[in-house]
Amino acid sequence: MLQQRASGLLLHISSLPSPHGVGDLGAEAYRFADFLAASGQTYWQILPITSVDPGAGFSPYSSPSAFAGNVLFISLEKLVDCELLSPDEIASAQQPLTNRANLTETYTRKMPLLQRAAKNFRERATTTQRIDYELFCRQEAHWLNDYALFTALQHDTGEFWWVRWSPELVRRDPEALAREIDRLRDPIEAIKILQFLFDQQWSELRDYCFSKKIHIVGDIPIYVQHNSPDVWAFQELFKLDEQGMPRFVAGAPPDMFSADGQRWGNPVYDWPKHEASGFQWWIRRLRHQMKLYSLTRLDHFLGFAVYWEIPAHEPSARIGEWVKAPIDHFLEVMYRQFNNLPVIAEDLGERAPDVQPHLRHFQIPGMRVLQFGFGDDVATSQHTPHNHTINSVAYTGTHDNPTTAGWWMGADELSRTNVGNYLGVYVTTDNITAHLTRLAMQSVARLTILPLQDALNLDESHRMNTPGAGGGNWSWRYVPEQINDEVAARLLTITKMTGRI
């Protein structure tokens, strides 16, 4: 990967249009792949497609599983095609095609239909479908069995936090687990069937994209939720106390943007235990991701080198310390496992210099974000185009940034002046997106990724995520008429001119 100049668009699956409340793996996903091909794009970058937690605002970066797919992305129309649901049944889940999804409403309407489809699969599956399902269960057993039992226990007990289950289940006593697996046989199978249906639909879309010479770029959050089958099943790999509660949690220290820092709350890894195991959990996690994507973005890559550890009883991130992680040993093991480790490092933030030597040594591309390149360090910033490197990925902005038009509206006078002087033209709200798009495409970086919002020149109201905001994140969608032949032709022109076809 990244051996020649190329470009792509950033759009999460949830942001696709859909008649059922949130983007899915149905017809509009294939239409978007066709749009990428028509506009000369080679990459489709998405956010994590793991399962989501309504209690965490449906954030793809706060998943209750490091492996399980987000079943809300299952296309109901495709379930009709394989006769697991009827057209009349899925009509109950229809919602208006607006540019903001009501994720709670979607969850409420869609989950009962998915459960019905799983029941119908158990009763109606053909011999071929049953063979494919059983093969999937065997191949994915290393995570699927724990995930299905964990989720079934949550619903059966009414207690979603595993540390409050009976002591023998918290300790994962083999006899207790065997009893629960036998008792909860039907709900466990329903959970596995939905994961199978998600995997089928994802594989079909991935293969279609590949037939169009489009690579999918995935995303892995570095940490997992405490209340997850990953922590429950591998308690020894996290810094937990005897009751299974985190002794330390992850976050970021205070900085100019946050006086209290950021307390994310995820349990931190016990890295010596991971090293002693040969990083087997990480090997399984990365191998799983590499079946799904051509390239994978590792979120918060700094955490593999050094991480901010906060005592779990502290209410903010003010009190904590930097702790070293075994980045060199970790990457050496990963390189032995995976030929030319196909990852992109999210190396953003004040401590980015801590990981740069490791990225250079292992030839891992980092990220360059133009919106970060025009402050008072415009001459030296790694994000300013003249400082980009070939082995990197250039962005106008990311899912955590405002759209470029929105960034310009909120930019300070220094940044605006620097942009104008750098470009040597008069910059306005109307043309800023086109100028930064051109700079990103002209970058020496082998890969350029544009958020779809910037490709469509959309304003701040179309932002995907505002870090730290209380609500309204992750719900943006485009409407079908926004991607058309005119937009594709414009992208194709700049892609050809900058040698990214």
Catalytic residue list contains 400:
yes
What is the total residue count of the chain?
A: 501
Count Cβ atoms below 10 Å from residue 340 Cβ, excluding itself. Answer: 10
Nearest to 12 by CA among 478, 484, 483: 478
Q: What values do phi and psi take at 263, rounded to 5?
A: -105, 100
| Cα–Cα distance for residue pair 269/238, rounded to 1 Å | 4
Task: Give the DSSP H/E element, type plus range, for residue 220.
Answer: strand 215-220
Q: Are strands 321-324 and 306-311 parallel, antiparallel or unpaired?
A: antiparallel
| Cα–Cα distance for residue pair 231/236, rounded to 1 Å | 8
| Cα–Cα distance for residue pair 234/50, rounded to 1 Å | 18
The active-site residue, picked from 28, 140, 189, 299, is 299
**Token pair in block for residue 422:** 């750098």
The active-site residue, picked from 199, 230, 346, 347, is 346
Distance of alpha carbon 338 from the chain centroid: 21
- Cβ(282)–Cβ(274) below 8 Å: yes
Catalytic residue list contains 412:
no
Beta strands in 229-369, from DSSP E residues, in sequence order: 248-252, 262-267, 295-298, 306-311, 321-324, 343-345, 366-369
Three-state secondary structure call for residue 100: strand
Triad 199, 204, 207: Cα angle to 5°: 120
**Token pair in block for residue 450:** 């544009």
Catalytic residue list contains 346:
yes
| Cα–Cα distance for residue pair 63/69, rounded to 1 Å | 10
The region, left, alpha or beta by phi > 0 then psi within -120 to 50, assigned to residue 261 is left
- Cβ(145)–Cβ(125) below 8 Å: no
The active-site residue, picked from 400, 413, 481, 485, is 400
Q: Following DSSP, what letter does each residue of 351-399 receive, concatenated?
A: TGGGTHHHHHHHT--EEEEGGGSSSTTTTT-TTSGGG--SSEEEES--T
Sign of CA dihedral 402, 408, 411, 415: positive
Q: Which residue has the tokens 């800023």?
A: 432
Give me the active site residues, please: 299, 346, 400
